[in-house]
């Protein structure tokens, strides 16, 4: 570290405050690599002439994030690389108003960060090692707010599975009736047809984390343009939003026939309507629930009770059943009990899709909203129900068998002749007439003892019969659930057959 006392007008540099540079590094970090080539772990700085614009860029060889800073350039035009991680470390101790200058090091090797008058040299590769983004022809076409919203919502429903590369993006479909924006992961599907796409042929935009970043997501002036390869399958796309540019790859491959998954309009026997003013708070509440995980899902059950809808689930802590009446939700049509993934339900409510159509237990559930936006979610069939179990009477305590009555001792067939003979009772002794002696136990009638044993055995048999009945009921329920699971597998395979035919 050295003190910077020079003001060389021949050195290209970028000057701005620390509070302005920090959010720029956050956005550039969305596309920068952490373990790739040395150049991909740096930000590329291109400065125009003094008083002109400065362009900052980062890449992981597949995606680029670029930001333009009007009036931030100083000195002569030039370009250089600055390592991202050390630059972030230096800014942690800087105050919000601290001036920061980025410039190449003396001799063109590495870069220097001038922070509060102190120069910090950093090692960096030459600027020629930085891969440039692809070139685009023509002016980007502006996209209305409805198209921007559809692209962001479709990207939230796209797959992140690397083995299904063709689903890792947003499909811009210009075929069929109207233009659609589609995103799916094979378990739920989103589509919207609220605007016309400026495309001559369909294209799939690869995922880009910068698009979901708040400054880009909330920018009002979205613009889109494509650069296709000569083969017409792959290429690149560019989304311009305010001072930012997000450049990504087009996914090459045949996208599945997603229209086959959409249910018919007449296939619903019941429906749910949620008050639009309750959608936001309801989505937050559903997302915050601690639901017990079953495999890769967190199942919740929607059930029609009266004219409303009650959601049931099991608590993740102890697996206790919970329930919550959905405020502002009204049910119509036949009675229903459907099990959904918690994430899919919360996502549909957060998108503002408040009209829900339901068919059978294994039929797809359709969430619809304004602007032709809809989300199709496949119901779950979890063995352990999320609904509270029905009331079962307490098991009666088993009665213990009554001890057998004491039996009178049989007389010894060979009495000891040496023992004295008992005295013959007198006629005035009450025991001679069959009266009990004082302190002797009361005699037990054998018939009463037998009846008591029969009653105890009857209670034991009833308890055992109840246990056998409950075991038989559990086996019958397991058999029914197995049949339902088999029907669901056949239904899902038929409905999503096109989504599995993916060419990697």
CATH 3.30.1280.10 correct for 141-258: no
Q: Which residue has the tokens 């003979």?
A: 421
> Alpha carbon of 349 to those of 143, 337, 371: distances in Å?
25, 18, 15
The CATH number corresponding to 262-377 among 3.40.50.1820, 3.90.550.10, 3.70.10.10, 3.30.930.10 equals 3.70.10.10
Q: Cα(4)–Cα(121) distance, rounded to whole angstroms?
A: 11
Length of the chain: 504
Q: Cα(133)–Cα(129) distance, rounded to whole angstroms?
A: 13
Please name the fold of domain 2-129: DNA Polymerase III; Chain A, domain 2 (3.10.150)
Q: Is 2-129's fold the same as 262-377's?
A: no
Answer yes or no: are the C-beta atoms of 8 and 112 closer than 8 Å: no
Q: Where are the beta strands (DSSP E) in 244-354?
A: 244-250, 270-274, 299-305, 308-314, 321-333, 337-341
For residue 232, give every residue at least 6 positions away whose Cβ sits within 8 Å of its Cβ, in sequence order, or none: 201
Q: Cα(163)–Cα(87) distance, rounded to whole angstroms?
A: 35
H helix or E strand, kind and range, residue 11: none
Query: So where are the chain's domains?
Result: 2-129, 141-258, 262-377
Tokens of 18: 């620390």
Tens digit of pLDDT per residue, the chain (504 long)? 555 554 566 789 999 999 999 999 999 999 999 888 999 999 999 999 888 999 999 999 999 999 999 999 999 999 999 999 999 999 998 888 999 999 999 877 889 999 988 899 999 999 999 999 999 988 888 888 888 999 999 999 999 988 888 999 999 998 777 789 999 999 999 999 877 787 888 999 999 999 999 999 998 889 999 998 877 668 999 999 999 999 999 998 889 999 888 888 778 899 999 999 999 999 999 999 999 988 888 999 999 998 899 999 999 887 789 999 999 999 999 999 999 999 999 999 999 999 999 987 788 999 999 888 999 999 988 665 545 444 444 444 444 444 455 555 544 444 444 444 544 544 444 444 444 444 444 455 666 667 677 777 777 777 777 778 777 777 877 787 777 777 766 766 666 665 656 554
Return the exposure string of 34-60: e unless at least 16 CB atoms fall within 10 Å of the residue's CB, then b.
eeeeebbbbbbbbbbeeeebbbbbbbb
> Alpha carbon of 242 to those of 66, 215, 346: distances in Å?
11, 9, 30
């Amino acid at each position: 570290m050295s003190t910077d006392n020079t003001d060389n007008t021949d050195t290209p540099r970028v000057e701005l405050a620390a509070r302005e540079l920090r959010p720029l590094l956050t956005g550039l970090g969305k596309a920068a690599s952490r373990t790739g080539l040395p150049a991909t772990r740096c930000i590329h700085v291109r400065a125009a002439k003094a008083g002109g614009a400065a362009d900052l860029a980062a890449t992981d060889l597949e995606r680029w994030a670029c930001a333009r800073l009007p009036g931030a350039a100083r000195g002569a035009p030039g370009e250089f690389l600055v390592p991202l991680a050390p630059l972030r470390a230096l800014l942690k101790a800087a105050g919000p108003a601290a001036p920061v200058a980025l410039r190449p090091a003396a001799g063109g090797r590495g870069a220097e960060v001038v922070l509060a008058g102190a120069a910090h040299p950093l090692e960096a590769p030459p600027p020629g090692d930085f891969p440039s983004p692809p070139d685009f022809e023509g002016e980007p076409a502006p996209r209305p707010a409805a198209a921007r919203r559809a692209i962001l919502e479709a990207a939230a429903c796209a797959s992140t599975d690397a083995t299904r590369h063709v689903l890792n993006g947003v499909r811009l479909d210009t075929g069929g009736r109207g233009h659609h924006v589609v995103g799916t992961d094979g378990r739920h599907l989103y589509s919207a047809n609220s605007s016309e796409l400026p495309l001559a042929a369909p294209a799939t935009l690869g995922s880009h984390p910068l698009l979901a970043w708040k400054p880009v997501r909330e920018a009002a002036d979205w613009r889109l343009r494509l650069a296709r390869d000569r083969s017409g399958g792959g290429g690149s796309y560019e989304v311009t939003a305010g001072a930012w540019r997000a450049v990504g790859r087009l996914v090459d491959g045949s996208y599945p026939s997603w229209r086959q998954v959409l249910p018919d309009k007449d296939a619903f026997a019941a429906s749910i309507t949620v008050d639009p003013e309750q959608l936001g708070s309801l989505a937050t509440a559903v997302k915050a629930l601690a639901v017990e995980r079953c495999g890769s899902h967190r199942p919740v059950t929607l059930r029609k009770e009266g004219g409303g809808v009650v959601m049931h689930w099991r608590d993740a802590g102890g697996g206790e059943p919970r329930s919550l009446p959905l405020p502002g939700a009204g049910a119509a049509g036949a009675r229903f009990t459907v099990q959904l993934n918690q994430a899919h339900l919360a996502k549909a409510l957060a998108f503002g899709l408040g009209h829900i159509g339901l068919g059978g237990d294994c039929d797809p559930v359709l969430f619809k909203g304004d602007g032709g936006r809809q989300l199709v979610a496949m119901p779950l069939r979890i063995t352990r129900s999320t609904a509270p179990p029905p009331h079962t009477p307490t098991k009666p305590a088993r009665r213990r068998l009554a001890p057998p009555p004491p039996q009178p001792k049989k007389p010894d067939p060979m009495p000891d002749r040496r023992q004295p003979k008992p005295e013959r009772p007198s006629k005035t002794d009450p025991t001679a007439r069959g009266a009990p002696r004082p302190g002797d136990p009361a005699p037990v009638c054998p018939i009463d003892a037998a009846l008591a044993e029969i009653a105890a055995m009857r209670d034991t048999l009833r308890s055992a019969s109840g246990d056998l009945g409950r075991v038989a009921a559990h086996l019958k329920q397991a058999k029914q659930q197995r049949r339902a699971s088999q029907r669901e597998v056949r239904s899902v395979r038929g409905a999503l057959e096109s989504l599995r035919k993916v060419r990697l």
